[in-house]
């Protein structure tokens, strides 16, 4: 036994644990790392008032609890030194004192605090991306980071309320899912429970009260169930151990609030875990359980033959106890139990290894995440896989060859195709489920046999697939296809959408102003030019919805700082002095009588619109909308401005008319029923169609219709548009 008198007293408990672990730790190096960290953090304190060094000590103790190696424990002591003590520490010094491995671990744990970002969300994304990159090289980075986060959550009460919620939310959305994906259920459960206390303290207390009440009423139940099982297994001379538990507060909370279940509907509130020596014994025990208790149909899951993506393997069954109380039984081997509790960390703790359970295979999902998210610049889109892929319940389906494919619950045939290979997804033209043709976006269910129908003549995925898929892997592979194959189409599509957004502004902005704004956005997203930004918007690398909102906000500010536009009426003020107003049946024009009128086709004015009249040569007066480009430009033309006259609608113009021609633009899914749907809708409200034109866009998937309809006024036209918006497959309706 090593004498600890020569080592720092603050870490004697840690060193004693390491010496008793049976592993060969370098105690001198670990003590040196502690002294180095203590010197760096001297004079620094946490929010609680405690000396900062106690945080690295706590993290090192948690890391040691995973039985990680010497360098991991050293990195735990040093993980905040570069970030918090930049004047004293850099990577070169850590390498000199502790070697390259420790330096790489510390680098992976150090936030990107020295780089300026547009907002906190962007910085968070880059920190996570950096952490994932470090994870893909050395998984110990995330083990240490999870221990760091766990201790921060244990001491979160010293922060202000707003900060508590931010940290708890990040823990729930990022770190608990990561622990789940790595199979580290012990850390995952504690992170979830701690985060829930800050995110929904009332819900947490309600569930806790229900648990305490129910457990208090039947606290001897688990012991009686355990004894019944033990007696039967002992008679079969099977070596086993049993553990009893009550379902965690967060697990019950999630089922109650996410699945809208009552507390009494939680059937796996109680659970017994039976740990045996071999896989064969797991199935033997399962048979014994079903002989001893009545099983609940549909509540059996075989995660031994179909492991979860995080490596979890176990048999689960729910049965009814002799007291009439349902409980879950989990059956696994010692090795399965180690992986269930510690996940990938079990490879260090229990030295588990097998030819088909290599570390490279286990880390493949991290590399896939990095590859598919390489071009992702939108913070919400980058975090989406952490909230979905890493934490969703799994659905297990089979290929026609019998291979098992795991997908998040709710994933569809398109997700399945892209999980096989990008080329399969890109050439997909159909889907078979259990031998029957099905829509490609059909949600898949566990146990189904899925076959993807492909064709070399396929023109590739549709843009709507991006919204249909559930997994980030499929979404990003579709985007990569559009990025590579459809640059010109992406740019044209995005330009049209941006121009549409600009047309909705209260005043137009110049092409130069628009380009200046978009060039600025391109720089923010690290894109070389506005054209590259258009491309990214087109294939979905940048959120069109978010950028449109930002464009509207910035353009509105720009417009408010510009001089007020010249009022067209101010250009013809002299005519306003004419006292008499003579009028036709529908339109009143200053200073004119007995005139012939026509309504301009360029803007199709309706009663309710502000209007002006243009005196034509030999064809009477042409009535235009006040905002019509011809009106604005004509009033500024010295040769024509005197031919523009003030005009307004007769109060009864809309009543004394069978209707004015108005133009409506419709974007709709190209379906067999779309034209009949639109026609029937207009018949219902007695609106007449005067003309119809159509064209196809987005590779024949979207039909763009231009309708001429009869409308009595702007108000009547809005009611027509409102009815058309309710037609099935109609995407967008606007006045032409």
Q: How far is it, in rounded angstroms, from Cα 233 to Cα 237?
A: 6
CA 381 to chain centre: 5
Per DSSP (E only), the strands in 334-446 are: 394-398, 404-408, 428-433, 436-438
> Distance of CA 186 to CAs 211, 360, 730, Å?
20, 23, 50
Q: How far is it, in rounded angstroms, from Cα 263 to Cα 252?
A: 8
* Residue 511 annotated among the catalytic residues of the structure: no
Q: Which of 10, 26, 69, 84 is catalytic?
A: 84
Contact 509, 502 (CB under 8 A): yes
Percent of the chain that is helix, strand, coil (3-state, to 5): 50, 15, 35
506-514 — which CB contacts under 8 Å span 24+ positions? 506/556, 506/559, 507/559, 507/562, 507/565, 509/555, 509/558, 509/559, 513/555, 513/558, 514/555
Sheet holding 621-625, edge to edge: 581-583, 587-590, 644-649, 611-615, 621-625, 597-599
Q: How far is it, in rounded angstroms, from Cα 137 to Cα 326?
A: 45
- Label residue 86 exposed, middle or buried (CB < 10 Å: 0-12, 13-18, 19+): exposed
Closest C-alpha to 534, from 506, 565, 493: 493
Q: How far is it, in rounded angstroms, from Cα 427 to Cα 454?
A: 5
How many CA atoms, within 13 angstroms, populate the side-chain half-sphere of residue 60? 30
Q: Return the SS3 of 459.
A: coil
What's the angle, vertex CA 456, arms to CA 455 and CA 460, rounded to 5? Answer: 80
Q: Which of 26, 61, 83, 642 is catalytic?
A: 83
* Residue 84 annotated among the catalytic residues of the structure: yes
Contact 609, 625 (CB under 8 A): yes
In the DSSP assignment, the letter for residue 182 is T
How many Cβ atoms sit within 10 Å of the Cβ of residue 33?
A: 27
Per DSSP (E only), the strands in 236-341 are: 241-246, 270-276, 294-295, 301-302, 315-320, 326-333
β-pairing, 301-302 with 315-320? antiparallel
In the DSSP assignment, the letter for residue 99 is -
Contact 152, 52 (CB under 8 A): no
Per DSSP (E only), the strands in 196-247 are: 241-246
Q: How far is it, in rounded angstroms, from Cα 438 to Cα 314?
A: 33
- CA torsion through residues 534, 538, 543, 545, sign: positive
What's the angle, vertex CA 569, arms to CA 568 and CA 571, rounded to 5? Answer: 70
> Distance of CA 230 to CAs 224, 237, 324, 481, Å?
10, 10, 19, 58
How many CA atoms, within 13 angstroms, populate the side-chain half-sphere of residue 76? 34
How many Cβ atoms sit within 10 Å of the Cβ of residue 378?
A: 20
Residues recognised as catalytic: 83-84
């Amino acid at each position: 036994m090593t004498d600890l008198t020569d080592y720092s007293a603050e870490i004697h408990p840690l060193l004693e644990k390491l010496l008793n672990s049976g592993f060969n730790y370098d105690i001198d190096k670990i003590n040196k790392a502690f002294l180095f960290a203590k010197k760096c953090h001297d004079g620094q304190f946490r929010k609680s008032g405690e000396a900062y060094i106690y945080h690295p000590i706590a993290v090192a103790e948690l890391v040691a609890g995973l039985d990680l190696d010497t360098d991991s424990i050293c990195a735990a002591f040093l993980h905040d030194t570069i970030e918090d003590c930049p004047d004293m520490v850099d990577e070169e010094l850590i390498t000199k004192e502790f070697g390259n491995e420790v330096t790489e671990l510390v680098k992976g744990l150090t936030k990107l605090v020295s780089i300026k970002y547009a907002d906190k969300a962007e910085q968070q994304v880059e920190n996570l991306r950096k952490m994932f990159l470090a994870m893909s090289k050395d998984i110990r980075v995330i083990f240490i980071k999870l221990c760091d986060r766990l201790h921060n959550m244990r001491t979160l009460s010293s922060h202000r309320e707003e900060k508590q919620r931010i940290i708890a939310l990040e823990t729930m959305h990022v770190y608990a899912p990561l622990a789940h994906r790595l199979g580290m259920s012990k850390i995952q459960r504690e992170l979830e429970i701690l985060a829930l206390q800050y995110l929904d303290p009332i819900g947490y207390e309600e569930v806790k009260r229900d648990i305490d009440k129910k457990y208090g009423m039947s606290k001897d139940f688990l012991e009686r169930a355990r004894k019944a099982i033990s007696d039967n297994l002992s008679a079969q001379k099977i070596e086993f151990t049993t553990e009893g538990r009550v379902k965690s507060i967060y697990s019950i909370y999630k089922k109650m609030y996410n699945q809208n279940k009552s507390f009494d509907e939680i059937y796996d509130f109680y659970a017994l875990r039976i740990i045996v020596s071999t896989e064969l014994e797991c199935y033997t025990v399962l048979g014994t359980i079903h002989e001893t208790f009545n099983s609940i149909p549909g509540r059996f899951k075989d995660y031994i033959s179909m492991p979860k993506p995080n490596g979890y393997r176990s048999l689960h069954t729910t049965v009814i106890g002799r007291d009439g109380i349902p409980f879950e039984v989990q059956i696994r081997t010692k090795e399965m139990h180690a992986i269930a509790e510690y996940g990938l960390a079990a490879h260090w703790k229990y030295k588990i290894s097998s030819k088909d359970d290599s570390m490279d295979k286990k880390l493949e999902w991290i590399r896939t995440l990095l590859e598919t998210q390489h071009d992702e610049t939108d913070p919400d889109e980058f975090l989406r896989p952490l909230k979905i892929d890493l934490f969703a319940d799994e659905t297990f389906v089979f290929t026609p060859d019998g291979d098992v494919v795991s997908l998040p619950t709710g994933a569809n045939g398109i997700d399945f195709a892209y999980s096989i290979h990008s080329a399969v997804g890109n050439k997909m033209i159909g889907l078979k489920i259990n031998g029957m043709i099905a829509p490609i976006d059909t949600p898949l269910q566990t146990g189904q046999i899925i076959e993807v129908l492909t064709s070399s003549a396929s023109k590739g995925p549709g843009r709507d697939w991006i919204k249909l898929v559930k997994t980030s892997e499929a979404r990003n592979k579709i985007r990569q296809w559009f990025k590579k194959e459809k640059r010109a189409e992406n740019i044209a599509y995005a330009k049209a959408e941006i121009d549409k957004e600009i047309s909705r502004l209260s005043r137009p902005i110049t092409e130069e102003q628009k380009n200046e704004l978009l060039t600025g956005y391109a720089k923010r997203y690290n894109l070389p030019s506005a054209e590259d930004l258009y491309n990214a918007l087109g294939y979905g690398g940048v959120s069109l919805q978010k950028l449109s909102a930002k464009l509207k906000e910035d353009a509105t500010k720009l417009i408010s700082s510009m001089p007020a536009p010249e009022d067209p009426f101010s250009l013809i003020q002299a005519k306003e002095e004419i006292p008499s107003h003579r009028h036709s049946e529908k339109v009143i024009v200053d200073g004119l009588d007995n005139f012939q009128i026509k309504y301009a086709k360029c803007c199709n004015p309706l009663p309710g619109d502000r209007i002006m009249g243009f005196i034509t040569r030999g064809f009477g007066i042409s009535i235009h909308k006040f905002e019509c480009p011809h009106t604005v430009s004509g009033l500024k033309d010295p040769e024509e401005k005197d031919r523009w006259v003030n005009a307004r609608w007769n109060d009864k113009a809309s009543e004394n008319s069978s209707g004015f021609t108005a133009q409506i633009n419709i974007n709709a899914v190209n379906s067999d029923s779309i034209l009949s749907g639109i026609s029937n809708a207009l018949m219902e409200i007695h609106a007449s169609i005067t003309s119809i034109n159509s064209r196809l866009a987005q590779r024949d998937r979207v039909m763009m219709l231009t309708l001429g309809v009869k409308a009595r006024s702007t108000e009547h036209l809005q009611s027509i548009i409102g009815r058309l918006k309710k037609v099935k497959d109609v995407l967008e309706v606007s006045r032409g």
